[in-house]
A and B are shown apart, each in its own frame.
Chain A
Amino acid sequence: VNDSPANIRIIPRLDIKGPNLVKGVRFEGLRVLGKPEDFACHYYDAGADELLYVDVVASLYGRNNLSHIVERTARQIFIPLTVGGGLRTIDDIRAVLRAGADKVALNTAAVKRPEFVKEAVRCFGASTIVIAIEAMKRPDGSYEAYTDNGRERTSLDVFEWAVRAAELGAGEILVTSIDREGTGLGFDVGLTRRISEAVPIPVVAGGGASTPQHVAEVVRSGRCQGVALASMLHYGMIEKYRGDRDFEEGVTAFLQSGRDHSVFAGVSLAEIKTALTDQGIATRPWAEAGVRNG
C-alpha cells in the first residue's frame, strides 16, 4: 500500500454569515469578502473537487438559514457540496439535503448527543455524514475538541472523539486547527496525522494554509485525503468582486478599503494542483475540470 492511495481533494471552504461570505482569524474578527454563490461558481469553474459551506453563527443563534444560498448554488455547480453549522435534528439535515447539499458536517449536535450521529447515518447513509472537529492544543500538548467555531469547550479529547465518531458510523472527518485557522502559518500536521492514523474513514484537514507547500506537507506528512482552504483562495478572488459592494449586512470596511491582506498572496486552484502534481501527489488535474456548462 503506497503512502497516498487517494487523489487528494482540494475543497474551498466558505464561511457564511447571513447572506455573505466571511473570513476571520481563529474564527474571530469576521470580514465580509463577498457573495458565497459568486465564489462557489468561480471555484467550480476553476476545478474545485468539492465545496464546503459553513454557517458560522448558526449554532450561536440556534438557526440554520443556509438553505436559500445552498439552493441557488446547487443549480449552478455539479460537484459535491457539504453544508455545516447549526444542524441539530434529522429534519434540519433533511432540509439542507433537499436544498441540494450532498453531505452535512455535524459538530455541536454530535458532541451533545453522540447517538444523533448514529441516527443520521441510519437515515441518510454513512457517506452523507461528516463530523467536524475543531481542535485546540492544550499547554500539555493534548488536544481538546471545541464547538461553536472555537467558542465552547467540550472537555473531549480530539483523538478519542474522532475514533468514537467513526465507530458511530460517520463517513468522513473534517478537522480544523483553531490555533492555525486564518493565520496562514500552515496546517497542524501532527494533529492531522494522528487523526488520520486513528480512523479508517477519510480525513480532511483545515486551518492555516497559505501556500501550496503547506498543502503538500499536510498531505504527505499529515496523511489526509483532502484539504479545506479558505483565506488562501478567497483573498485571490477578492479583486474580482471589489466592484460589487451591495452587501446587506456585515463588516465590509475591509472590502471597501481596497487594502491587500498582508499574509495571503492569494493562490489559485490551478497553482495548487500544479504544485501537488509536480511533487508526485495525485489529484484530479485542474485542466480536466473544464468550464461550467462545458
Chain B
Amino acid sequence: MDMQELIRKARNADAAAQKYLFEQWSAKMLMLCRRYVKNAEDAEELMLNGFFKFFTHLSSFNYQGDASLQAWLKKIMINECLMFMRKKNLFVIVSEKRQDEISIEDEALNNLSAAEIFNLIIQLPAGYRTVFNLYAVEGMSHKEVAKLLGISEGTSKSQLSKAKAMLQKMYTQNQSNYVTRKSQ
C-alpha cells in the first residue's frame, strides 16, 4: 500500500492503517530507544509514548517521502528518551574543557556486527552514550547537541571524545573475541 495513503488513513483514525505503520516501524524505534535508555521495559514504554504522540499529532505532519516520515518518528522518539532521562536524572553532564578528539577508527567499527556495536554503545555511561548517539549516530552537530542537552559545545565535544576513548578501550579488550568469532 502507498505510504502517503496510509498516512492519510491513519490521520483519519483508521486503526488498520495505524497498526500497519506501527508494525512497520516499531522494532526499529524500539532499538533506537534502547540505545538511549538501557532498560528494555522503559525503552518499550517510551516507544509506545512516541507512537502515541505520532498518531495524535499526525495531522500536523507534512509527508515528503519515507525519509521524512522516518526522520520525524526518530525525532519524536529521541525527544521522549531525553525527557525521560532528564526526569530520572539518568545523566549528569558536567561542564568540561575541550579535549583533543580521540578518533576511533571507523574501520574497526565496520568490522563489527550491528549487535556488537549496539552492545558496545549501551555499555557507555549515560552522558557519553547520549552525546555519542546524537552526534555520531543521528548525525547532529555539536551546536545542535549542545542546544538539545542544554550544555556548551565544548562540553559536548569533550563528552564525545571520552565516549570514543571508552569505545576504543572496550573494542581493544574484546578484539580477541571478535577475531576468534570471525575466524570461525
To the question of whether A and B form a pair in one complex, the answer is no
B residues in contact (CB < 8 Å) with A: none
A residues in contact (CB < 8 Å) with B: none
